[in-house]
Amino acid sequence: MICLVELGQLEEHHADFEKRNVRVVAISRDNLEDSKKTQEACPHLQIVSDADHKIADALAVIDKGHGPGGSDTNAPTTILVDGDGAVRWIARPDRFIVRLTPEEVLAAVDEHLNDKKGS
């Protein structure tokens, strides 16, 4: 598996995130083996396997019926968490195919984490 387009774009901006002391974590529905391959392709991101959907269920990001063949999938959701573990901002586009650009994520970091740049 290679870095998905969106993950690849985030990977390309890793220096911008590092300057802000921000770590990008992507929760994947892939199994552990495939997630490890994605991790190798995107070494500056943290890829977490969630094949059993426990994290997605806990975060309430399951998008029912919008995956391949009408299956359930994770809704593209961006959550900014400060160094103390407090959620500072959540973005969830109305359409499944919409993803935030790295520039939009960086702007949100600057706006919502500018006083508490956590990891």
Quote the CA–CA distance of 73 and 84 in Å, as a whole number: 29
Confidence of residue 24 (pLDDT cuts 50, 70, 90): very high
Residue 118 belongs to a domain: no
Extract the tokens encoding 36: 């490890």
Structural domain containing residue 85: 2-113
- Percentage of residues in the chain having pLDDT higher than 90: 65
| Number of domains into which the chain is organized | 1
> Would you say residue 119 lies in a domain?
no
CATH of the domain at 16: 3.40.30.10
Entry pTM: 0.82
Q: List phi, psi (to 5°) of 28.
A: -110, 145
- Contacts of residue 110, defined as CB under 8 A and 6 or more positions apart, other chains included, come to 20
What type of residue sits at position 36? K
Instruction: Dump pLDDT digits (tens) for 64-91.
Output: 887 788 888 888 899 999 999 999 999 9
Among residues 117, 59, 67, 52, the alpha carbon closest in space to that of 97 is found at: 67
Decide if 107 is inside a domain: yes
